[in-house]
Structure 1
Amino acid sequence: MKQILVWLAASLLCQNAVFVPTSASKAVNHTSNGNNKLISHARATRPVSKTDSTNKNAPKNKTPDRKASISAFIINGRTTRRGEFPHQVAIYMDEEHFCGGSLISNTHVLTAAHCVATYQSFELIFGASNRDGSNSGVVKMKAKNKIQHPSYSTFSLVNDIALLVLPKPIKFTSAIKKISLASPTQAKNLLQRGALLTVAGWGKTSDAEETIGDELVSTTLRVLSNQDCNRIYGYENYMPTAHSSICVIGNKKSATCQGDSGGPVIMKENNVLYQVGIVSYGSANGCEAGDPEVLTKVASYRNWISSMTGVKI
């Protein structure tokens, strides 16, 4: 099978609960009737503060304070080149929290619904390899509006997709480019079990580090079947990974962690990049536990994106 290059802006939260990204940020534990065994180890990939560290005194099954959440990192990653990910967008919510996104037109950024649901102000940074936007040629602007999927569920995290509208068209450069969206046929044919993926995020290098990183780094992941994720995150009749999801896992001891929720998952076909997914949620067992992550499958939402943006895709 040909290698598929996928960039996934990473994000995982490390608590033994199902995290629901509501404004209250409450954790929900799903336990069996017999032995109080935690059935679902899933948790939503919450936005993080620009300089947060983990609250080490937080109870195990409680959501950490918003200002004490673990930052993004990629384990066993490499530093990326400037312009390698020209579609990647850094998003600051309410001037404090951080997510990732992708530029899909000269007026729209694609991200996760849980990144925007409880925030009103969004500063966008384009063309940056440094998270703070200190590179030359970087463009910064405030989003004019957010468009959250109307059927987004804060409990199941289905339809975890949203758009940010720019106040004016952005000018494309060698470091700022839009990304095309994969068609359902492309997603079906290329996202087969075992396909190799590449993930990028602003990052740390281990669970022990406490602050969010400045440099964009990347590493390798691979695709699993959705049944693999359902065995871990499903309970009773609830199967979280359906036709609108993609199940992935770290490859060769690589991993991702929280901080770039909403970031793009990209594939390369015939030397053209296509976005196939958006970071949604993953294991609560820890960022280095080696558990799968679940992505929103972009191909399932092409019609919705087109109707909201007026862009032909």
Structure 2
Amino acid sequence: MAWILGLVLLSLFPTEAYQQVFLPSRSARALLMGRQKRANFLLEELRPGNLERECFEENCNLEEWQFVKSYAAQKDACASTPCLNGGTCHRNISDYNCTCRTGYEGRTCEIAENDNCASKPCKNGGWCQNSATHYKCFCETGYHGLNCESGPIDCSSHGQSCDHFCKLHNGIIVCHCAQGYKLGDDEKSCIPEVPYPCGKVMVTSSTEATDWSLRVIDDGQSRRGEYPWQVLLNHNNKTFCAGAILNEDFVLTSADCVKQLPSFTVVVGEHNLEVNEGNERIHNVSQIHIHSRYSQATFENDIALLKLETPIEFNNYTIPICLPETDFAEFFLMNAEFGAISGWKLRQGRVDHPVLFSVPYVPFIKHSKCVGLQHFPVVHRMFCAGLEELADPLCYLTRGSPFVTKYRDVWYMTGMSLGVGDYDCDVIPVYTKVSRYINWIKTKMTQSS
């Protein structure tokens, strides 16, 4: 035991080996301060700025810190690729500059030296895109050519005067007809070939007997059968939306109306919600086609096609509306002075008046005057129609109400009220432009057959 105690006592006194490993603090500090910096080098101040050398390995002064800071800022400045139109970004001491391609100028090469759009070369509402050496016109639907100078075929020209539609075949205008009509022997007129062809009202219309200026200020009550394509959408015995009959199997309405409902019914032949007039028929829905790009935020593509479980039986009070061809709708129908709209008035989700409300003379408004009127963007798949005096009743019509236009005694569907519940009713309402969806509608019909 004695020898173990001796070893313990001996370990308490410093030895020569211990002193060689652990230096006093003053000596250790002197050794570290004298160590050569890893980033330092002969004539190191002539080398480019280096963050490790200037501020990690050394105590940097203000001038050196500002240099390193500006170097980092230069890298960030070009990282965002600020130079446009193919310009090259160069870092300098405090910022960046752009070397522009030939034909462009400006701090970020954003200005084309030659404004090739200054002469407004694009016709018929075309939009001009400028570049350094030329311009490009983006044309409205139906127009084409370098400057959008060529337009749709005028079916009333060249002595043809087609009743409905026309197309160009081998340089010759050929007439053709809407659903339920056949081409006459004169190859111009369209003759009904079914008892209830589309767009043909069988009862006396109030629009034929009353001046439009008087109808603008009256109570708007329609006559029974005046808008026979009108349908009512009903959920739990409650009116919530409207739509239009396209044929015996399909109804067109707003996407917003049906996007979340598990079930609802379609009522055709309806006029007075409080009276059974004998022609009302209720149909269940078998398929719902909502446009794939419908936006609830902007109301773009607010359109839906409904297929019914059982076909509609037509009569004087239940008739389909005609679907126009795109060019015919946009450049003839919508260049008319007026269209008409029908639906039921709803306020705070409740029916304001039980009888179908209509405004038979709703003036079309140019798109340029429509932009910015509402809290959502009014795109070219929409249009405006109405007067300030009509803003209140039109705003409270059922969503999905059909907007129609008459041409040679036949009615065509040109629009549909949006499924928006918070219109600014002090301004003119906005509608979905149905003409932009003709191909989509026909495709969905074919797929559902």
TM-score by length of 2: 0.47
2:247 maps to 1:247 = no
Counterpart amino acid of 2:378? T
The residue type paired with residue 166 of structure 1 is L
Give, as a single letter, the amino acid of the residue that structure 1 aligns with 2:328. Answer: Q
Match of 1:196 among 326, 338, 341: 338
1:212 corresponds in structure 2 to 352
1:258 is aligned to 396
Distance in 2 between the 1:211 and 1:306 partners?
33
Residue 272 (structure 1) shift? 0.7
Partner in structure 2 of residue 305 of structure 1: 441
Consecutive unaligned residues of structure 2, counting only runs of 5 or more, are 1-215
State the alpha-carbon separation in 1 of the partners of residues 420 and 349 from structure 2.
19
Determine the structure 2 residue equivalent to 1:100.
242
Q: Contact 1:131/1:202 (CA < 8 Å) preserved in 2?
A: no
Structure 1 residues 138 and 283: alpha-carbon distance in aligned structure 2, compared to 1, 3 A threshold? closer
Q: Which has the higher helix share?
A: 2
Residue type matched to 2:398 in 1?
A: D
Alignment of 1:4-153 (within 5 A): 76-131=218-273, 134-153=276-295
- Please, which of 262, 270, 290 is the counterpart of residue 408 of structure 2? 270
In the alignment, the residues of structure 2 paired with residue 191 and residue 243 of structure 1 have an alpha-carbon distance, to the nearest angstrom, of 16
- Name which structure has the greater RCO, CA cutoff 8 Å, separation 6+: 1
Relative to structure 1, the CA distance from residue 105 to residue 285 in structure 2 (aligned partners, 3 Å threshold; closer, same or farther) is closer
Deviation at 1:83, TM superposition (A): 1.0
* Distance in 2 (alpha carbons) for counterparts of 1:211 and 1:302: 31
Question: Match for 1:297: what amino acid?
Answer: K
1:97 Cα deviation from its structure 2 partner: 4.8
Percentage identity across paired residues of the two chains? 27
How many Å separate the matches in 2 of 1:117 and 1:284?
18
Does the alignment pair 1:229 with 2:365? no
Q: Aligned pair in 2 of structure 1 residues 198, 122: CA closer, same or farther (>3 Å)?
A: same
Question: 1:283, CA displacement in angstroms?
Answer: 9.3
CA distance in 2 between partners of 1:126 and 1:264 (Å): 14
- The CA deviation at 1:123 is 1.1
CA RMSD after TM alignment: 2.8
Counterpart for residue 24 of structure 1: none
- Deviations 1:204-239, CA, capped at 9 Å, x for gaps: 7xx8997432101222321111222213236xxxx7
Question: How many pairs are equivalent?
Answer: 230
Secondary structure of 2:432's aligned partner: strand
Work out which of the two has the higher radius of gyration on C-alpha atoms and give 1 or 2: 2
Q: Aligned partner of 2:254: which letter?
A: A
Distance 1:158 1:75 in 2: 31
SS in 2 for 1:256: helix
Q: Report how far residue 295 of structure 1 moved.
A: 0.8
How big is each residue's C-alpha offset from its partner over 1:118-162, in whole Å with a ceiling of 9 and x where there is no partner? 112121111111135621121112212211111101111111000
In structure 2, do the counterparts of structure 1 residues 109 and 211 end up closer, same or farther at CA, with 3 Å as the change threshold?
closer
In structure 2, relative to structure 1, the CA distance for the partners of 1:293 and 1:282 (3 Å cut) is farther
Separation of aligned partners in 1, 2:430 and 2:412: 18
Shift of 1:77: 3.4
Selected match of 2:325 from 154, 172, 183? 183
SS at match of 2:301: coil
Distance 2:268 2:247 in 1: 13
Aligned-partner Cα distance in 2 for 1:203–1:295: 16
Distance 2:336 2:241 in 1: 28
More strand by percentage: 1
Give the CA deviation at 1:240.
2.4
Matched residues in 1 for 2:240 and 2:390: separation? 26
Corresponding residue of 2:417: 279
SS of 1:131's partner is coil
